[in-house]
Amino acid sequence: MGSLRIANCSGFYGDRISAAREMVTGGDIDVLTGDYLAELTMFLLWKARSAGRPGYAVTFLRQMEEVLGTCLDRGIKVVTNAGGLDPGRLADDLRAVAQRLGLSPNIAYINGDDLMGRLPALQAGGVDFRNLDTGKLLSEADVPPVTANAYLGGRGVAYALSQGAEIVICPRITDASLVVGPCMWRFGWGDDEYDKLAGAVAAGHVIECGAQATGGNYAFFAEIENLGTPGFPIAEMAPDGSAVITKHAHTGGLVSVGTVTAQLVYEIGDNHYLNPDVTLELDSIHLTQEGPDRVRLSGTRGLPPPPTLKVAVTCEGLHRQSMTFAIPGEDVELKAQWACRGMLETLGGADQFDDVDFRVVRHDQPGSVINELSVAKLVATFSARDPSVLGRRIFDAATGLALSSYPGIYFQDERQQRPTQSGVNWPCLVPAHLVTERVILDDGTEHEIPDRIPVETGPATHSALRTGSVNGRVIGPTARVSLGTVFGARSGDKGANANVGLWARNAEAYRWLEHDFTVAAFRQVLPEADGLEITRTALPNLKAVNFVVHGLLGEGAASGSRFDPQAKGLAEFIRSRFVELPVALLKAGDRSDGTAEAMR
């Protein structure tokens, strides 16, 4: 049995609209997948549905209009989670598009993930929906839930494909399940073939975020010779669960051990990467540069899945509005205090708001000969459950100070006259047997996916117990340089927590990273984590160390006032921080991650 070429055309709702066409017309593929969902996306889809618009990713329809005929002609299956909160409606609307094009695709969709209507009954039955980050029960939440979706696995996708579906529209399944399901269908894997399933999860995790696996957002981007718009990734899956990550020929970007490692350490926790079908042991993955733009994943090990499913509950958060004051020249702190006092006096005090945040951002460069570079910022943010205390009055209070406050005052976002509402992420668990996954086939028949057989996971085995410790330290003279001189990094959000995965490109650099870059050292380069719990996991097979900063992102789903609410730029900040590194690690061109070979 040959390989199964699974291509991805979307890493988030808003990704490059032309990617579906590029993947279908750019070369041979067997399956086209698209990942559109994140915790924040579910809240945005709820807002859309509440306003009478579709609760699914509408861009998927535009993409299918361009490629549907070609996919049917070439037998390319389409599997997507674009269904969001309305998979059935998306299936109907796609049929309407197909009919207009003179096509008749076999479309199946999946549901059963939506627990919103079942929350009271499940809570009465003993499911507490305890917040995985804070420990609070959902019944104790001071904000109302608006969505509650369990993360489904790949078995429903596999069943739909086995029944002749050419397009499978999914709701909230895990991102990696877009790859797991087609593999289970094509290769006939059983529920207990954990190593094979884990291989598919690993490959799915690599390609789920689109061009992030092919040079997009890559720490060493300046080394990419073909620095055009990156092509989207393809996972060539083998029957044994191994995979080759690649991209279409003559597209921009790069596929190297480095770019694949960067994606493997993105938005992870510890060594156990939990999925509904299997628990992936991240450090079992062996990466090999097979040739230009071809990286093999092999040796992947899996354990039984947990007995629970993760549930993404989102709640209505506060309404928030900000004004940004420019503060040129000197006496920045004193000028900011004057503006803050003036705002509060005009508005009648802070008590009417649930939160007031004044943040001075020192972008200014003292002594600069260019005006724009000598300007600091004051960001004044007001939050309230009642949006009526916000709106035009916030804007008027700020602009009313234009002639009566500090010298040089002006504003940098005068259009911000309306508040926006944030979503609060509430990650929790539900016993898997309480969630019934259903597949609705093209003929309208509904089929339940049987509960998986519970497995006692017991203590972790295989490589999961390895600590990753390495012997000996890198010794010799040191130089004070930025971490990014030697190490790559990628960061992201996991609910309220931020993860930063750092990786080395050779064994000697990893020795330093594993031995010397401890939690204490990490705190030194990230002072804002003071007082927060930080967990650290060594992944020696990947030459990587992952840090999770618990609670850095408030309540998650971009609910806080942090400038980078999803920690997407945190890794680059960490790489910019200066530390003492052994001079031996600074040798030019000393890299062995396959990047150089991949660029030839």
Mode of pairing for the β-strands spanning 438-440 and 446-448: antiparallel
Q: At what angle do helices 332-347 and 392-399 cross, to 10 degrees?
A: 130
Q: Look up residue 249 and give its two tokens.
A: 């020929």
Dist CA 125 CA 148 (whole Å): 17
Residue 557: pLDDT band (50, 70, 90) is low
Distance CA 288, CA 244 (A): 9
* CA 200 to centroid of chain Cα atoms: 18
User: Does residue 460 register a pLDDT over 70?
Assistant: no
The reported pLDDT for the residue numbered 266 is 96
Q: What residues have CB less than 8 Å from 230, skipping those under 6 apart?
A: 211, 214, 215, 216, 247, 251, 252, 253, 254
* pLDDT over 90 (residue 451): no
Nearest Cα neighbor of 321 from 389, 420, 392 is 420
Segments making up each domain of the chain, as ranges: 4-113+151-305, 317-424, 481-587
- Give CA 207 to chain center in angstroms: 12
Nearest to 519 by CA among 485, 545, 554, 480: 545
Q: Which carries the bigger pLDDT value, residue 416 or residue 438? A: 438
Tokens of 73: 């002609």
CB 297 within 8 A of CB 245: yes
Alpha carbon distance 512, 504 (integer Å):
9
- For the stretch 57-68, pLDDT in tens is 999 999 999 999
Task: Evaluate if residue 597 carries a pLDDT over 60.
Answer: no
pLDDT, tens digit, 9 for 90 and up, residues 134-154 = 999 999 988 889 999 999 999
- What pLDDT, in 10s, does the model give residues 278-293? 999 999 999 999 999 9
Indicate if the pLDDT at residue 577 is higher than 60.
yes
Task: Return the percentage of the chain with pLDDT > 70, whole number.
Answer: 93
What is the H or E stretch that residue 499 is in?
strand 497-503
* Distance (Å, whole) CA 562 – CA 377: 14
Q: Region 152-170: what's the mean pLDDT?
A: 98
DSSP codes, 177-207: HHHHHHHHHHH---TT-HHHHHHHHHHHHHH
**Structure-token match 């066409």, residue found:** 21
Q: How far is Cα 466 from Cα 540, in angstroms, rounded to an integer?
A: 9
CATH number, domain 317-424: 3.30.70
Q: How far apart are CA 441 and CA 447, in angstroms?
A: 8
The whole-angstrom separation of Cα 11 and Cα 530 is: 33
Share of the chain above pLDDT 90, in %: 83
Q: Are 30 and 237 in contact (CB under 8 A)?
A: no
Q: Both ends of the chain: CA-CA distance in Å?
A: 31
Give the pLDDT confidence score for residue 245 in this predicted structure: 98
Least confident of 356-360, 407-411, 459-463: 459-463
pLDDT of residue 490 exceeding 80, the answer is yes
